[in-house]
Structure 1
Amino acid sequence: MPNSTERGRTVTSRALAVLGSFTPAQPELTLAQICRITGLRHATAHRLVRELVGWGALERVPCGAYVIGLRLWELGTLNPRGLPLRVRAMPFMEDLHAATRQHVQLAVLDGGEALVVERFSAVDAVPVRSQVGGRLPLHASAVGQVLLAHADEELFAEVVRDGLARFTAATVTDEAGLRAALAECRRTGVAVVREEVSVGAYSVAAPITDAKGRVVAALSVVGPDPAVHRLVPAVVMAGRGISRGLATTPGPAGGDDADLLWGRPSAREPVRAGGG
């Protein structure tokens, strides 16, 4: 008899569940772990994994476990918010990293989180939660606050609907406090976050805009210095440099198709979250 967790699920949804079981915290999984995470029967999971390995979406490592395959990485580079953005950003990120010797990271909005698409780090830099391919909370990270400050009210409502998670004693967990922080971000053009995600980590982030002035990404420096605001001019300058580069990048088909580049239909201009 089919497992109750499999009833009503398409083959595609089961395959996606297998791929979705891999995370930055668990990049390598055994078949038994995949079954436990997805709720799939062993025979079903085994068949799907075998097909995914054959296609290149998964790879089997010598110990017998599985990792995400290079075929998915290859497809991921085709996303316009991935490789083109990183190519434009990396020279500025390298310079910023050389000047600060701290974490320099680039993030985009993905659902209700900030997705880190690139990062430069020093070996002795302050420990942080983020990594390339990892996610950061919108309400508690500097890149997240920049992205949320320039998103629409609908996203803000989603973020606060189930309460704001507390990561440290300094995390803003009330709606009014978050609205005030986002309003300050829009006023100053930067977000400055002090130990809201990790104790001892201070960050400053600036927006990156496209040719139409819409915020499409955020750039930040994360370090151990409480006087992180001193880095604001350098981060802002780097963000503006990346934005200038993006302004000259055409959309997939040129012209107004650049709207498709960032997933926002041209007929809908974002309403800034948190009021005026």
Structure 2
Amino acid sequence: MYTPEASRSIDLTTEVKLKGFKAYEVDPRANGGHSYNRKDFYKISLTSGKYVFHYADRSFETDEPILFFGNPRIPYSCEVITPTLDGYACLFTEDFLNLSERSESLLQSPLFRLGGTPILILNQPQKDAVATIFQKIMVDQESSYAYKDELIRNYINLIIHEALKMQPTVNAPEHKNAALRITSVFLDLLERQFPIESTNDRLELKTAQDFAQQLAVHVNHLNSSVKGVTGKPTTVHIADRIVSEARALLQHTNWSIADVAYALGFSYPTHFNNFFKKKTGKIPKEVREEVL
């Protein structure tokens, strides 16, 4: 169903894709929270109110001002228990921030990394200082200043640096079963890549090594954890999910087989054909013809 909130979300998505960033003031009437959906954007938000944040396999509850750092590759959701009092948010792409070589390391900091501290509770002076930076971003993004992108990039870096200087006040609870935690997040990350909705999309995480790098663990540790918990190797989970998505795309879209292959991360249609036949006993064309 069409709603003004849905329209605003579409407008934000379009603007961030075009410009690489977008800052905005949080609607003080917003009280529905938000759930994770696949995005291409990093997010930094400063908000007040009572919330429960779910980030990967952890949850944080607070009714104090918080600074949140969202990574588009790690699932998160927010439940708002009381209406938002005030706040700001900034969405930006990795490419936008990585135009500065120094920024690349900031995206690998504990603020954005799985297992790090994505939420900081702020005192009033800290909140006021960060709010001032957000306000500057909002003013400058509307200006005609020729170098405003670089200026805004510096502001975002400044927020990250200010957060890194703060003593984290929310500590991640230790999980009794680290293998279960890693497996849970791996499976969540795998599923979050689907469905593929456009021929312009392309699977980013395709191998066990890709997932291990994203999770900041050694690939052998990931493989042993997943195999120990599920009884199936990491590669089998990935292959099974790719096959499932391939069937859906072949049966429910009019994309060419080459487009399907590209979207699923295969460099050549022949590689996709060989993979699919090995897993299913059929070539993609046969599956497509079954529904004609």
**Same fold by TM-score greater than 0.5:** no
Query: Which of the pair is proportionally richer in helix?
Result: 2
| TM interval, short-chain normalised | under 0.3
TM-score relative to the length of structure 2: 0.25
